[in-house]
Amino acid sequence: MSKYLTRCRDLIAAVVMLLIAAALFVLSFSVQRNTVSSIGPGFMPRLVAVLLLILGSLNLRDAVKAYRAQPAPAAEEHAERRTPKEFFLSNLDWASAVLILLYVFLVGPLGFPVASALYMFFQMIVLSIGQKRNWILLVVLSLAVPAAVYFAFTKWFYLMLPAGILG
Amino acid sequence: MDMFLSGAAAVLNPECILYIFFGTVLGIIFGAAPGLNTAMAVALCLPITYTLSAVNGVSMIMGLFIGGVSGGLITAILINIPGTAASLATTFDGHPMAEKGQAGKALGVGIVFSFLGTILSMFALIFVAPLLAQFALEFSSVEYFAIAVFSLTMMATLSGDNLKRGLMSGLLGWVIAMVGTSPIDYSPRFTFGFLSMEAGFSMISVLTGAFAVSEVMKSALHRTDLKKDDFHDFKIKGFGFTMKEFVSQIGNGIRSALIGIAIGILPGIGAGTANIVAYGAAKNSSKYPEKFGTGIIDGVVASETSNNASVGGALIPLLTLGIPGDVGTALMLGGLMIHGIVPGPLLFVTNGELVYSIFTALFLAAIFMLVLEFGGMRIFIRILGVKKYILMPIVMILCCVGAYGANNRVFDIIWLGIFGIIGYLLSKADFPVAPMIIGYVLGPMAETNLRRALMSSEGSLVPFFTSPIALVFFALTIVSIVMTILRARKGAKQTA
């Protein structure tokens, strides 16, 4: 990642953190009190929110300083366009994040065996981009591993994983 | 003594021994492979431990930890990549030794001293822990609050070079722990009206999400596959070193073990720090400091003795006070709690046998580690050649089983994925993730004890200033904060 992008990222992260702290501070006032005590359930969230606000502001100041201190990005750097393939290759981590999210949300509706098989297959493809892969092995593993895990846990360990559409 | 015998007897049966063996094997593999960590190994094993008895489950986790801390030496020596931060200093002299054709000796020394480090720290654990537990029985919520506050300042030591971001990450962990019902009066907090949020996030979802699932994403960009040809060839005869060499390292070994134990006891730092500090100490007190880094056994001894010794050290506050020192022990805490075991001084009174079972399991794990690493080195090297693109998706689906198994809720699986992404986002934005776990575990402990103490004193703050133990910890807290600030200033000046 270019230095310029790193600074931008630091700035964004600092702002997001401050927003979280502010939200926490506001929400801490709506925590219900069930008992009469000197320190209620909203006290610690508020304290942590204040600490986060202080640290967050200091961190934002650092990020702004760093952002200002660096020279403006050269025009070429801005204009430089990456090919779609390069863009995709440098974002394989986010592709994996999407797969993981899809997987965790689909485990319930589709069931563990089906969701896991689909996830394994696509995740293995994403992680092996640019390497030689054995397609038969990918398919066999995607089917065999989730099936083996499912049966081992439901039959031996009595952990009733969601069966979903197969149940 | 009775307790010791019955605790040991509970472990010494074929089934439990098999679990320890399995745990140690898995620990070594995950410790040795760069890109895999002990958190993942624990995540893989948690679903299995649910159905085991407490003794079997905990014993297996002990195997995982001993194997995990020691396994890193294989890759550190043979390919100059530390499998975990615990073996970083092993590469300094271990790999140069391998390049000089002494790979067998380096491995032999590393393995034997890992074993000795574990055993020495185990003795420290056996003698210190019960005494400390006895002492801690007198603690009230006032003292616990003080200890929790002190331990929270240790978030700073886990922050690396960015103190502010480390502390923010720690506080974020605390916020995550606040979701659900509040301690003492059970008011729902930040549940946004969802009933499923009232129980809060499961510890397993948070821990394995932040430390295992996020690694799956990381592995998409950072390929860390190892090939068999990357490994240096080696030959080991006997232990690989002479008796004379062993005798020359006894002093170094004992010093490094003591450093490891002491660092392990301190909350917030563990094997990752111990190996560096012990290496530095060995170099400074050596008659030939200039030879360090060129491939001498002293460096390997210091690093490998201290990292394993820190495991026993870290178990002391975990078992006696319920305070985890680092990510590894936080996971161990999670593993214990699954079995309904709440670490603390009472554990020694109500569940004394289990404590001695843990000691025995630790001992067995150390022996297995010794035997496995000497006998199975070539097999481990083969296993380490397995492609990450196959391993990582399997890790993910087993994490899922682990998250689900804690409460049989799909809700926990969903949050496992979300915490994985949060953990990855944090590390992408240069926020260290380790302090988050400390905040997550210790934050609620501080709040609960503060409120409990104030309830029993009817709102008065006087007890906080009359308890000598609490005062000591408050003083330590102030010292710790001042030192952190001074260090940060010094660091800033140096870079300026």
- The pLDDT value recorded for residue B1 is 67
The pLDDT of A122-136, averaged and rounded, is 90
- The pLDDT value recorded for residue B181 is 84
Lowest mean pLDDT among A23-27, A71-75, B68-72: A71-75
What is the share, in percent, of chain B residues with pLDDT greater than 90?
Answer: 37
Closest CA to B425 of B142, B209, B274, B252: B209
Virtual torsion, Cα A22, A28, A30, A31, nearest 10 deg: 160
Which of B171, B390, B413 is closest, CB to CB, to A48? B171
Asked whether the predicted pLDDT for residue A75 surpasses 70, the reply is no
Asked whether the predicted pLDDT for residue A30 surpasses 90, the reply is no
Asked whether the predicted pLDDT for residue B430 surpasses 70, the reply is yes
CA dist B393 and B314 (Å) reads 31
Asked whether the predicted pLDDT for residue B58 surpasses 60, the reply is yes
Could A52 and B172 be called an inter-chain contact, meaning their C-beta atoms sit closer than 8 Å?
A: yes
CA dist B305 and B292 (Å) reads 16
Q: pLDDT-derived band of residue B302, with 50, 70 and 90 as boundaries?
A: very high
**Mutation for A interface: B413, B425, B442, B489, most A CBs within 10 A:** B413
Asked whether the predicted pLDDT for residue A6 surpasses 80, the reply is no
- The pLDDT value recorded for residue B112 is 95
- The pLDDT value recorded for residue A37 is 67
Higher pLDDT, A160 or B302: B302
Asked whether the predicted pLDDT for residue A1 surpasses 60, the reply is no
Task: For residue range B464-474, list pLDDT tens digits in order.
Answer: 888 999 999 99
Asked whether the predicted pLDDT for residue B297 surpasses 60, the reply is yes
Compute the mean pLDDT over every residue in chain A, rounded to the nearest whole number. Answer: 86
- The pLDDT value recorded for residue B417 is 96
Could A45 and B387 be called an inter-chain contact, meaning their C-beta atoms sit closer than 8 Å?
A: no
Q: pLDDT-derived band of residue A95, with 50, 70 and 90 as boundaries?
A: very high
Paired tokens of B171: 């506080």
Closest CA to B357 of B80, B117, B15, B5: B5
Asked whether the predicted pLDDT for residue B155 surpasses 80, the reply is no
CA dist B282 and B298 (Å) reads 7
Could B397 and A33 be called an inter-chain contact, meaning their C-beta atoms sit closer than 8 Å?
A: no
The pLDDT of B324-353, averaged and rounded, is 83
The pLDDT of B155-164, averaged and rounded, is 76
- The pLDDT value recorded for residue A77 is 53
- The pLDDT value recorded for residue B194 is 83
**Which alpha helices (H) appear in B291-433, and where do they start and end?**
297-321, 327-338, 345-350, 352-375, 377-384, 388-407, 410-428
Widest Cα–Cα separation across chain B: 70
Angstroms from B451 CA to nearest CA on chain A? 7
Which of B47, B213, B454 is closest, CB to CB, to A100? B213
- Return the domain boundaries, chain A: 3-80, 86-166
Task: For residue range B8-54, list pLDDT tens digits in order.
Answer: 888 899 999 999 999 999 999 998 988 788 778 887 787 788 778 88
The answer to whether the CB of B321 falls within 8 A of the CB of B327 is no
